[in-house]
A and B are shown apart, each in its own frame.
Chain A
């Protein structure tokens, strides 16, 4: 072990004056068991740091074939290893100048051990949770209503909350929010998604009751609905339907629901659209308006992100295109969208890329990155950008060189990403 005299001799040779230095000198040495293998370094943001300081846990989720994500209670992060050419040493017992008391009169040594070192660390990047899998696994066994007669209910492929948390790469809060979005509910302790036809059947019962009782859509009484519809469907399912399609409120100790016109109209449209590849737009709009409950008005805006209107074709058409059916990967999504349609206006494409945006990203930024815009007839349109093949990091399928055939398009020589 080095002595104070040895250190002071070194200082003298190094031409450092003791009076310019603080009194505490750390003599660093490597611990006997030091290695880089024992420790794993991870970069945290402020929120996660406070999380750990409060003694809370983080979970790493992912199947063997998926990229791992880190989850706190309400956020999801991508994990990426970052290499550095710098050497990072961990020194538990070492103090920084502001932590030293400096009460000592003379110089003294503190023998401090280096416990470990690293050349790399995990970088965390906040990202949207991977929730597409959630609907996919719940659709393995959608709930079609209570078992009829002597039929036995299918009990395979049912998932509890814990099962879902094990399989889905998302924080718990984000998972719960998505369960609500896809109208899932708990039945016998398992989370189930409803078969669409069954869901529409429930909605039909409710809207027909509202019609026959001449209630306002904004004030549907819960108890009366449950009593009247009990012979037809389980009370829990009626109430679930009201929760999905209405807003609950209380007045004079009675519970009511205000039905969402937009949600009801949208689901009615989906029911019609799922039966054919394309519809004549005018005909569709007529049938759609006739199919929704009396008093509700249909508007094409209600179908943003679930249906695509083609105003360029003669006659104009509409078809089903749900954003939830598209890839979660940004590049794949853009590829798919531009295969469906070569050019998009910002208005048409925004509902289909909105969910891809990062924390502080706008759809405009995404379009700038992945597409090229041009003006036609005063309307700005976007085309997919192709990358140069040589050395393009994107690889696979997207590398073509554009030929300029019209003044509207621009040859891309720079990589999109």
Chain B
């Protein structure tokens, strides 16, 4: 039997945001993801989320989701987990990333 508890004091776990991307994310020099910058997240005045990752730009939308997350508590022998966070909103980027052209060749 395993226990998933909301929290010790009966309050709601914090709410986190989830960002959903299509495909895989790799670092440029294969140095792993930890510690690296991922990209810039902006919102248009209308509220559309825009993500600039490397030399790509992605447009997304905000969506509702119901998700909870647990982490291990009290070491590997315990069967008790706490819910770290609740996720009720996500930003989903489903459209094809558009390349940002940085070098425009000059007209001869």
Residues of A within 8 A of B (CB): 2, 7, 10-11, 13-14, 16, 20-22, 24-35, 38-46, 48-49, 51-61, 70, 85-92, 94-98, 100, 112, 114-115, 117, 121, 165-166
Contacts and interface: CB of A to CB of B under 8 A. Distances in A.
**Chain B interface residue count: which class?**
35 or more
Contacts of B25: 87
A32 B35 contact: yes
Contacts of B69: 39-42, 90
A175 to B, nearest CB: 13
A29 B33 CA distance: 9
Interface of B: 1-7, 9-14, 16-25, 33-45, 47, 49-50, 52, 57, 62, 65-72, 81, 83-89, 91, 100, 102
Contact of B70 (A16, A42, A53, A91): A42
Contacts of B52: 10-11, 14
A81 to B, nearest CB: 14
Nearest to A70: B4
Contacts of B85: 90, 92
Contacts of A46: 66
B25 to A, nearest CB: 6
Contacts of B7: 55
Contact of A100 (B43, B57, B68, B84): B43
Contacts, number: 190
Contacts of A24: 43
B81 to A, nearest CB: 8
Which 10 residue pairs are nearest across A and B when measured between Cβ atoms?
A55-B10, A55-B6, A97-B47, A26-B41, A60-B2, A53-B12, A57-B5, A89-B19, A94-B17, A28-B38
A29 B42 contact: no
Q: Which of B34, B35, B40, B91 has the most CB of A within 10 A?
A: B40
Contacts of A98: 47
A98 B72 CA distance: 32
Contacts of B83: 52
A29 B17 CA distance: 14
Given A21-B42, A89-B21, A92-B85, A54 B12 contact: yes
A57 B86 CA distance: 14
Given A39-B84, A58-B4, A61-B1, A2 B66 contact: no
A54 B43 contact: no
Nearest to A35: B34
Contacts of A117: 33
A89 B47 CA distance: 20
Given A20-B44, A49-B86, A90-B87, A30 B6 contact: no
A30 B36 contact: yes
B2 A59 contact: yes
